[in-house]
Amino acid sequence: DDHEHHDGNDDHELRVSKIRDGTVIDHVRGGQALNVLAILGIDGSEGEELSVGMNVPSDRLGRKDIVKVEGRELSQDEVDVLSLIAPDATINIVRDYEVIEKHRVEPPEIVEGVLSCPNTGCITTGDEPVTSRFEVLEDGVRCSYCGTIAREELASLIET
């Protein structure tokens, strides 16, 4: 960001400290940070060092969330699935306190094992273990097994 239009996140008003090595997921839609962590399967129970800022002021988004994961560099494949709930997210890879890589999330063609099908009759929601699989559309996702299309509230379909 340029200096006139800071993002509520510059040095004199940092809400969550800078990290040394890891991944910063920035420009997440306000209120979606916990869904970001759920999709990534990160819940802190393995001792991961995490910082989460929610609903902090942002010029670009009005309000934004930020997720910082210390000690892990998330791959492009891992983060692309976030485009479903955080299409404007920026992924920053940090090494020795410096951002060494910055990229946007891009919608994947397929998401597997991330969302559960809203159709209770779908083979993926039965007792047999069948990994969920969705094709990503412009404005939603389509179950590869039963064809059900989900457009809104994708966050509510995140598998736990």
Out of Zn ion, ligand CTP, none, what residue 66 binds, judged by CB under 5 to 8 A for its kind, is ligand CTP
Question: Angle CA(56)–CA(90)–CA(7) in degrees, nearest 5?
Answer: 35
Write down the least CB distance from residue 19 to ligand CTP, Å. Answer: 4
Q: Which residues partner with 93 through β-bridges? A: 23, 101
Residue 109 CB, shortest distance to Zn ion, in Å, is 17
The tokens of 22 are what? 């890891």
Rg (CA), the chain: 17
Asked if 99 is part of the footprint of ligand CTP (rule: CB under 6 A), the reply reads yes
In angstroms, the CA 61 to CA 59 distance is 6
> Which of Zn ion, ligand CTP, none does 133 bind, CB closer than 5 to 8 A by kind?
none
Nearest residue to 63 (alpha-carbon basis) of 115, 25, 26? 26
C-beta of 55: minimal distance to Zn ion in Å? 33
Q: Give the residues lining the site for ligand CTP (CB under 6 A).
A: 1, 7, 9, 18-19, 24, 26, 66, 68, 90, 92, 94, 97, 99, 102
